[in-house]
């Protein structure tokens, strides 16, 4: 069973002490590919270097809405230059966050709109953060049109998911689906078109119920696949195969048989 972790912050400082061991455990568990999204300009070189540790690590570069204090307007121009030079397979993590208090909404929209325009210009998919901001995200995507990508850690409604699918966006499902209280997201997962589903860990954050309070790891993506398979009444192998193909298609990567 091959799995693609479509959202893993493997470059995070939480992995500085054992990054290679974390990669090895993931590979042993069948997680043979990971999309590693950036959060701020200063993190791009370290993320690039981390992705050289294994051919299954694929970088994305962006400016995350939770790190506004680290961003400058000039970083948007730098992002375009960096992506073209480093051949990233996606732009992100970027988006909107209406959950964390004190995040300037105007600044969030400035950086988000800039990255949407860049994705449109470069023809690259987006890796989107939309915490308590799914509706605002959908409106922003509609304003530009012609975009594609994934809303990671999706927690919206069935109707919002449907609108995202119509816009060409996948949804990323991770550890939160394993909690019994996650009834709304399980309803979405149960009925959604399989072609728009991606699996993720968001490591080191958002561990599943079996690892509550621990540092999350890409190897634990297997548990997400098992839960999703149970919710949909199918096998984990079928979910793994479909979501692996979906990720390769979205990020423009070869899918070796």
pLDDT at 6 over 80: yes
Question: How far is it, in rounded angstroms, from Cα 81 to Cα 29?
Answer: 36
* pLDDT (average), residues 35-52: 98
Domain assignment present for 257: no
pLDDT per position as a tens digit, 114-123: 999 999 999 9
The pLDDT of residue 149 is 98
Q: Hey, which bits of the chain come out as E strands? A: 3-5, 31-37, 57-60, 91-97, 126-131, 149-151, 169-173, 197-199
- Helices (H) and strands (E) counted in the chain, each on its own, are 9, 8
Which range, of 103-107, 133-137, 253-257, averages the lowest pLDDT? 253-257
Percent of the chain with pLDDT over 90: 98
Domain assignment present for 256: no
pLDDT at 146 over 90: yes
Domain assignment present for 175: yes
Helix (H) or strand (E) holding 202: none
Query: How many angstroms separate the Cα of 127 from the Cα of each of 24, 113, 231, 232?
Result: 25, 14, 25, 25
Domain assignment present for 165: yes
pLDDT at 2 over 70: yes
The pLDDT of residue 249 is 98
pLDDT at 257 over 70: no
pLDDT per position as a tens digit, 13-43: 999 999 999 999 999 999 999 999 999 999 9
CB atoms within 10 A of CB 12: 19
Mean pLDDT score of the chain: 97
Domain assignment present for 46: yes
For 49, the domain range is 3-251
* pLDDT (average), residues 126-152: 98
The pLDDT of residue 179 is 98
CATH of the domain at 170: 3.20.20.140
User: Is the bond preceding residue 204 a cis peptide, omega within 30 degrees?
Assistant: yes
Number of structural domains, the chain?
1
The pLDDT of residue 255 is 85
């Amino acid at each position: 069973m091959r799995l693609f972790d479509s959202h893993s912050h493997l470059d995070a400082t939480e992995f500085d002490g054992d990054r290679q061991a974390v990669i090895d455990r993931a590979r042993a568990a069948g997680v043979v590919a990971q999309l590693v999204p950036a959060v701020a300009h200063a993190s791009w070189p370290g993320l690039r270097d981390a992705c050289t540790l294994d051919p299954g690590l694929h970088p994305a570069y962006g400016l995350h809405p939770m790190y506004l204090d680290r961003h400058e307007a000039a970083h948007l121009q730098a992002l375009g230059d960096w992506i073209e030079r480093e051949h990233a397979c996606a732009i992100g993590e970027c988006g909107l966050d209406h959950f964390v208090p004190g995040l300037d909404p105007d600044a969030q929209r400035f950086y988000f709109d800039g990255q949407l325009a860049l994705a449109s210009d470069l023809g690259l998919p987006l890796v989107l953060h939309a915490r308590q901001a799914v509706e605002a995200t959908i409106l922003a995507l509609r304003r530009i049109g012609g975009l594609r990508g994934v809303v990671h850690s999706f927690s919206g409604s069935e109707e919002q998911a449907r609108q995202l699918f119509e816009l060409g966006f996948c949804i990323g499902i991770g550890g939160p689906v394993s909690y019994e209280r996650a009834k709304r997201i399980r309803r979405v997962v149960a009925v959604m078109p399989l072609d728009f589903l991606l699996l993720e860990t968001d490591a080191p954050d958002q561990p599943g119920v079996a690892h509550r309070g621990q540092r999350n790891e890409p190897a634990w993506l297997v548990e997400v696949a098992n839960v999703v398979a149970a919710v949909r009444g199918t096998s984990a192998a079928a979910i793994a195969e479909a979501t692996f193909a979906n990720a390769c298609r979205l990020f423009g990567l070869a899918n070796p048989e």
